[in-house]
Amino acid sequence: MISQQKYWNPVLETLAHEKIRKLQLEKFKRIFSWTHERSRFHRGLYVQAGIKPGDIRSFEDIRRIPTVEKSMMRGIQRKDPFPYGDALCVPLEEVSEFRQTSGTTGQPVYQADTWQDWEWWAESWAYILWAQGYRPKDRVFLPFGYNVFVAFWAGHYAAEKIGAEVVPGGVLDTQARILKIQELQCTAMMATPTYVLGMADTAKTKMGIDPRSLAIRKITCAGEPGASIPTTKKRMEDAWDAKVYDHAGATEIGAWCFECEAQSGGLHVNEAFFLVEIQDTETGEYIEVPGRRGKMIITALDRQAQPCVRFDSKDIIEWAPEPCPCGRSFRLIKGGVVGRADDITKVKGVLLAPSAIEEVVRGLDGLADEFEVIVDKEGDIDRITLKIEILKGREGERKRIEAQLKDQLRLKTNLGYNLEFHDYGMLPRYDVKAKRFKDLRGKH
């Protein structure tokens, strides 16, 4: 019976690395030819670089192919075939899905998928859910607004595909969602880390329901790095008495990596569906060895309507040194997506990744889940203000918390902070992705 299977695809997930690489190369050639032939936008780039499909014989050859950035996609859209523009590789009538990127800055990028692409999305998510222990007996609650963003649409379809039961919690508010989870004894759910913590907080403080008493035992996160930040993960797992798993995906890429039940501190790249390359942001060198960080260049090997070929994702990742104990041969990236090249800013000449601040705040006993970071200038000097909330009844510990916070922030980020304590509940709450990091330098 399928429920007994350890892997969703026992062949591909345990294929020897050399064989996976061979498969990737063959698939890459196919998607490159497809794109070269059908996308005027991509062909323009390739002609300029002097590269034709027949030139691709090795992974080294692939590296000569120009990368595509999100800003380039913005530039070609809102034109014919409307609204996708020159990168559309199929006749408009074959497009069955519209989505758009959910980034908080800049114009969104529209994404077209055919029905075949959409089945590919569901299949890639089936790998994720199966690896995280979802089985046909699960009752999965989806607490998100069903709209133009892809999260968690594909999770919904994949849960159905593996035979689980799906409870759509779309237009309900947070309290109604919690009651529905309780009423139906749902066993799993998918949400952003911000919302996982927010729901637990609402259940406890507004409804007198301990989320641990509910039947949710698996939570799949996306959209933010929280589930790969150990202290945030622990807060979520403790709040719900559930296993919390990370996954990473993007509208214009697909669901390209996932944590498995072994929770080994890394995320598996679905190497049967995606080719991940890591490039040093300073030297441009490609990184094959574990332990060196760089930005991810990714190709979705099977996506057809609006292909993702050598997309410069700006995600900062590194290969993990050890294989995962789960037995999958898909390589792991250590600690998930550790940041985005765009998010990592220089403050007082020091490189700062906002996730490092999150790790410290979420690890401190006595602080609430919310926080906000503001970088601005005092005269010519950068200043970072960290706003935090003390939990109710813990106000007396402020001195201890302040000292620990200063120490740990200095240790993790090498920077000094201006700390601003607020009463519990005073900082903004978010339903989906939070915007906790604000860089106001140059904006006055």
Each residue 211-250 as x (binds Zn ion by CB under 5 A) or -, in order, gives: ----------------------------------------
For Zn ion, which stretch binds (CB under 5 A), given 40-48, 221-229, 259-267, 354-362? 259-267
- How far apart, in whole angstroms, are the C-alpha atoms of residue 243 and residue 218? 5
Q: What's the N-to-C CA distance of the chain in angstroms?
A: 63
Binding status of residue 326 toward Zn ion by CB under 5 A: yes
Query: Quick one: 321 exposed, middle or buried, by C-beta within 10 A (0-12, 13-18, 19+)?
Result: exposed
Nearer to Zn ion, 191 or 326 (CB): 326
Nearer to Zn ion, 243 or 328 (CB): 328
- Cβ–Cβ under 8 Å, residues 176 and 168: no
Amino acid sitting at position 168: P
Could you tell me how many residues of this chain bind Zn ion (CB under 5 A)?
A: 5
Each residue 386-405 as x (binds Zn ion by CB under 5 A) or -, in order, gives: --------------------
For Zn ion, which stretch binds (CB under 5 A), given 52-60, 133-141, 216-224, 325-333? 325-333
For Zn ion, which stretch binds (CB under 5 A), given 34-42, 155-163, 260-268, 431-439? 260-268
Nearer to Zn ion, 109 or 326 (CB): 326
Cα angle value 238/244/245 (rounded, 5°): 160
For Zn ion, which stretch binds (CB under 5 A), given 38-46, 75-83, 138-146, 318-326? 318-326
- Cβ–Cβ under 8 Å, residues 358 and 44: no
For Zn ion, which stretch binds (CB under 5 A), given 98-106, 299-307, 324-332, 430-438? 324-332
Nearer to Zn ion, 333 or 373 (CB): 333
Token pair recorded at residue 288: 């094959």
- Cβ–Cβ under 8 Å, residues 259 and 269: no
Shortest CB 261 distance to Zn ion, Å: 7
Token pair recorded at residue 1: 């019976």
Binding status of residue 109 toward Zn ion by CB under 5 A: no
Shortest CB 353 distance to Zn ion, Å: 25
- Cβ–Cβ under 8 Å, residues 236 and 261: no
Shortest CB 128 distance to Zn ion, Å: 12
- How far apart, in whole angstroms, are the C-alpha atoms of residue 108 and residue 149? 10
Q: Considering only residues 144-183, where is the footprint of Zn ion by CB under 5 A?
A: none
Nearer to Zn ion, 216 or 333 (CB): 333
- How far apart, in whole angstroms, are the C-alpha atoms of residue 430 and residue 444? 26
What DSSP string runs through 215-236? S--EEEE-SSGGGGSHHHHHHH
Q: Is 403 helix (H, G, I), strand (E, B) or coil?
A: helix
Binding status of residue 262 toward Zn ion by CB under 5 A: yes
Buried b (16+ CB within 10 A) or exposed e, 44-80: ebbeeeebeeeebeeeeebeebbbbebebbbebbeee
Cα angle value 120/121/127 (rounded, 5°): 90
Binding status of residue 260 toward Zn ion by CB under 5 A: yes
| CA torsion, ordered 176, 182, 183, 186, to nearest 10 deg | 110
Nearer to Zn ion, 310 or 334 (CB): 334
Shortest CB 193 distance to Zn ion, Å: 20
Q: Which of 308, 324, 338, 405 binds Zn ion (CB under 5 A)?
A: 324
For Zn ion, which stretch binds (CB under 5 A), given 54-62, 104-112, 214-222, 326-334? 326-334
Shortest CB 268 distance to Zn ion, Å: 6
For Zn ion, which stretch binds (CB under 5 A), given 95-103, 210-218, 261-269, 292-300? 261-269
- Cβ–Cβ under 8 Å, residues 371 and 423: no
Nearer to Zn ion, 195 or 256 (CB): 256
- Cβ–Cβ under 8 Å, residues 268 and 280: no
Binding status of residue 267 toward Zn ion by CB under 5 A: no
Interface ranges with Zn ion (CB under 5 A): 260, 262, 324, 326, 328
